[in-house]
Amino acid sequence: MTIEKCVKEFDVGDVIFEEGSSGRELFVVLDGQVEIAKINGDHKTVIVTLGKGEFFGEMAVIDGSSRSATAIAAAPSTRVMRINHARFVYLVSQQPAFALMVMDALSKRLRASNNVTYRTAAAP
């Protein structure tokens, strides 16, 4: 598969994937920005905004679960590269630095989530 087939461009507001959908790929931001958000009716809560070089969708590619949030293009001409499960497994097995990068990002995201949950639970 050529790299061009793995790259897709989105405009501001375009949904890359929706919370609850299935997917066995992760995405790397090549240009632009992507918001990872929780959407409840008309209300959108942005969890994080990602930029060039950052990735998202890794939880679904690792464990096959449904998407835990919605990914939305947040800048004009946002380009992302899709990495399917087979390519992900290859990269992890052949490039230990890639595996460490994914684990580092997951760890940081989990810690940030735990901190928010703890602060919310501890609030009077």
Domains of the chain (ranges, CATH numbers) = 3-122 (2.60.120.10)
Q: Is the pLDDT reported for residue 119 higher than 70?
A: no
Per-residue burial over 86-97, b = 16 or more CB atoms within 10 Å of its CB, e = otherwise: eebeebbeeeee
Q: Is the pLDDT reported for residue 121 higher than 70?
A: no
Q: 5-14, 57-66, 96-105, 113-122: which range is least confident on average?
A: 113-122
Residue 46 near residue 54 (C-beta atoms within 8 A): no
User: Which pLDDT does position 28 carry in this prediction?
Assistant: 95
User: Which pLDDT does position 116 carry in this prediction?
Assistant: 62
Q: Rounded to the nearest 5 degrees, what angle is found at the Cα of 85, between the Cα atoms of 80 and 86?
A: 115
- Categorize the per-residue pLDDT at 23 as very low, low, confident or very high, splitting at 50, 70 and 90: confident
Read off φ and ψ for residue 102, nearest 5 degrees: -65, -45
Q: Give me the residue label for tokens 């949904």.
A: 15
> Minimal CA–CA distance to 54: which of 37, 69, 35?
35
Q: Is the pLDDT reported for residue 122 higher than 90?
A: no
Residue 80 near residue 7 (C-beta atoms within 8 A): yes
Region 50-57 average pLDDT? 94
User: Which pLDDT does position 70 carry in this prediction?
Assistant: 96
